[in-house]
Structure 1
Amino acid sequence: MTRVKPKLIVHFGAGDWIPRKHYPPIRANETHLVYDPDPELPKKYAEFKDSQVGKLPLTLIPRGAQNTGLRRDSVDVIHIHNVFSAPSARSVREDLLKEAERILKPGGIIYMLHWNTPEYMPKEELLQMANMRGLKIEFPFSLNKTELRELNKSELDSLREISEFPKLLAKLVTPGAYLAKLTKKQG
């Protein structure tokens, strides 16, 4: 079976990490939309326009991701970066997952990536919300060196689907770091 490469990839809360670190490797046939409400980001992204990074198919949308304006079932992959770290933000988390589920194509993938605030990550709450939204939980785990050694082959193969696998693991192997892969169930 031939895998279809994603064409539309949406990032929630990635900040300026994508253009700074070339994360993930961006291919010419992909479109990356970055939703982030940080008021400083438009200035930072403008600085990248004159560089090689400025030639990448990467668009900053300087607002939150609760209402993207994208069509239902139009996105291949969603990366959610470090946006679940505020204990008081349950309604934001619910709205974000609701919008992610709405815009994701059936069979599409959501990667939840978290490494900024190890003291708070509502893993169980998020997995429960994802399950309630009809998202299939492929793997949820905290990543530390011991757990990485214990991953079975199918989990490692699944992680390798993330094209930025080596960089991601280097970044995530910190106390409290977390990764989950969710898929939207087919019809």
Structure 2
Amino acid sequence: MVRKTAYSLAIVTFFIFCFMWVNLNHTVVQNIDRIAVDWFKDNSFLAIFHYFGEPWFVVTVGIIIMVVLWLRMRDYRLMLFLLATFGGGAALNQILKNIIERPRPERIEQLMSYSFPSGHSMSGMIYLLATVYIVTKYINFERKEWMVWLGAFILAILIGISRVAESRHFGSDVIAGLSLGFTWFMLCVYWYELRDKAIKHTT
């Protein structure tokens, strides 16, 4: 039941991403961006969370998990899942940014890369959920597992909001990044579990 709900939500988040993309110049999306600025811009507390979405941090987490899966667990299928989520998600984000070519918000010393969808938001959602997915396969949290998942979602959202607080992204960039990140994660889960069942069926 929970898994079916997650897959259904992944479809919804994909359409949210598409809606944001198609309506970038529409007043609806522009109003979302304006509200996000009013709520979060220059919030120094929220800005701190961007560190958890920095590429060096995400890569470090990925390497640690990869090493543990390789040397301790010998779980090569989960290693492939990790590469698909982390690496595939990062590649997809860069491809979309260069296709859409949305400029970033105006600010002094702004980044030169494109804005839509937010890379921190997308990678944050992907790597946090993928990490929880892998960890919960080896650690039984029993009734508290939902709290671990909730914590990952909240941190991913805070990473996204931090980019608005720093004027690095528009609110719609963040919503699109979080949405597509969840969709990509669930797509990788579907692929992994389908492949895992097929392998177990043949052995």
**Do both proteins adopt the same fold according to a TM-score greater than 0.5, normalized to the shorter chain?**
no
Q: Which structure's residues are more often helix, by fraction?
A: 2
Q: Which structure's residues are more often strand, by fraction?
A: 1
- Range class of TM-score, shorter chain: under 0.3
TM-score, normalisation: structure 2 = 0.24
TM-score, normalisation: structure 1 = 0.26
